[in-house]
Structure 1
Amino acid sequence: MATTNRIYILATFLVSSIALIFNIVSLSTEQWITGKLSDLTDTTQDFSYINYGLFRGNYRRYVSIRASYQVEMTCNFANNVCALLCSADSTADLLDALYNNNINENDDPTGSCISTTSSVFAIHPLTAKTLTTTTYVNRKNFINAGVWLSTIVCLVIAAIIGLLASVLALYNTISNPINFYLSVGSLYFYNGLALGFTLLYVILWGTMYNLTIFHNVALYDTLAEKMTSDKMAFLGYSYWISFIPMTFYGASIAVLFYREHLNAKDPKQKNIQIEDSADPSLFLF
């Protein structure tokens, strides 16, 4: 019952709340992927750098003159592809052009983007490889739109369930609800579910990173083969901190089990079975 050892239920509230905070931080930050890019047309150029989250990122393009751009995750679910793009025109149209190989060697949409640095720089355009039957945009290099969306959905669900677990834990410290879905017993289920969805999105994104992003960060410059990020992209802290909520949701369950163990050892909580005096098998001698 929730009337005993309430301090452990309060501890569950605190631990689940910390897990929830890290879920939110992971969702809102732009360090899921960090990496650098090398110019394929001029090896004397400095490395360019990219970091991005699930929605947008920052592309520091060091080609002749340094400039930074905000790139946005742009997806086409009909073709199941996503890429980090910026353009003075529609990024959706640019994604379609990349997917269908409708770009030429003089295209430089990134150079026409609005710079996020304090000054606007004129960027010396890169020279892309001519798109022929042997040099084309490999569709395997795009981010998988289904995996990207599933990652976000699982993360949001984990955060919502984590919030529910935190609120119910706090509620059970001041009340003693009789409905299971509001009781202490339900906290096992909610924390376990939040842990499961967190683990699921970690697996989804980690798998896609190993299969795709590790070799191509899915920017226009890398998809059009102007630059390469092969083996220079890494998982950032926004991804790695997802292991913290998994640990804390698991810790919440452990605290609840420990509380149950203490209750079982408490003589005041032991149930005394009283034999039914109306049982006809009982006789007095």
Structure 2
Amino acid sequence: MVYGLWIATIVMMGAAIVFVLVAAMFAILNTATNPVETLTGVVGLYVWNGIAMFFEFLVLVLWGVQFHQHLRHNMLWRDEIEQAWSTEGMASLGYSYWLVFVAMILHAVNMAILWFGTHQKRPKKVQIPIERGNTNAVNMIY
């Protein structure tokens, strides 16, 4: 195993988790208040989710490279390989790899929902017609 790739995968996954927590915190803040700063408002939600997606993508790439270079071949100790044991063709990426992919897709869905929620058409204001010939005191404007 290439330990540099392994450590980089762990660091990138940690960074992704941090930005997921930041995005969740600002999403809660946006539901409770209406922040005016860019990184705490709706634009910030795009930024934090996008950064989390980026780090999750890096995790997928790094672990995919590690798997295809080393992990899909024999995963045994040298002594076991010398005794003619083999795990060739038995390795798979597993659920945890695909759950990171699902998390990345969910961030994209979250950003799409944000976009649809903030770019919806506003209803037109309905104007109430004013009757001009009515001399009723009710319609007096001060």
Query: What range describes the TM-score normalised by the shorter chain of this pair?
Result: 0.7 to 0.9
Structure having the higher helix fraction is: 2
Asked if 1:220 is matched to 2:88, the reply is no
**How many positions carry a matched residue from both structures?**
123
Q: Partners of 2:99 and 2:79 in 1: how far apart?
A: 27
Q: Deviation per CA, 1:90-118: give whole Å up to 9, x if none.
A: xxxxxxxxxxxxxxxxxxxxxxxxxxxxx
Unmatched 5+ residue regions in structure 2? 125-142
Q: Among residues 97, 100, 104, which one is paired with 1:246 in the alignment?
A: 104
Whether 1:234 aligns to 2:105 is: no
Counterpart contact for 1:216–1:223, Cα < 8 Å: no
Letter in structure 1 aligned against 2:22: L
Q: By how many angstroms is 1:220 displaced? A: 2.0
Match of 1:195 in 2: 53
Task: Give percent identity, aligned residues only.
Answer: 36
Q: Compute the RMSD of aligned alpha carbons.
A: 1.7
Amino acid in structure 2 at the alignment position of 1:220: W
169, 177, 181: which is aligned to 2:39? 181
SS at match of 2:36: coil
Show the counterpart of 1:172: 30
> Which has more strand, going by share of residues?
1
Superimposed CA distance per residue, residues 19-55 of structure 1 (whole angstroms, 9 cap, x where no aligned partner)? xxxxxxxxxxxxxxxxxxxxxxxxxxxxxxxxxxxxx
What is the CA–CA distance in structure 1 between the aligned matches of 2:8 and 2:95, rounded to whole Å? 20
Corresponding position: 1:266 with 2:130 = no
Query: If the length of structure 1 is used for normalisation, what is the TM-score?
Result: 0.41
Could you tell me how far apart the structure 1 residues matched to 2:11 and 2:81 are?
Answer: 30
Q: CA deviation at 1:225?
A: 3.0
Return closer, same or farther for 1:223/1:184 CA change in 2, 3 Å cut-off: farther
* TM-score, with structure 2 as normaliser: 0.80
